[in-house]
Amino acid sequence: MTYWWYRFIDQPCLQDADLSESEKNRLQTIVKKLHTHWTMDKEYLPPPEMGTPAALDASLIVTPPKGLEVGYVPVATRQSHL
């Protein structure tokens, strides 16, 4: 997979969201707070009381480049066979 890193509010899927600059700034601030305080080592929702939780393939977890850890998201732009 090839990923490009975008500032959350600049990712392609939000470009037609018709958000004002004020709304974009507020949303980006919220995402930065989430990235800063919601670390992967904590639980944020109670476990389900029924059913089986979905499994997440660990290879889908990507590490952001230095400087893009907070406020940025990966967007897959290409996949190919090695």
The domains of the chain are located at: 1-36+70-82
Quickly count helices (H) and strands (E) in the chain. Answer: 1, 2
Residue 62 tokens, joined:
């990507």
The model carries a pTM of 0.80
pLDDT in tens, the chain (82 residues): 888 999 999 999 999 999 999 999 999 999 999 999 998 888 888 888 999 888 889 888 899 999 999 999 999 999 888 6
Compute the distance between CA of residue 69 and CA of residue 71 in angstroms, rounded to an integer: 7
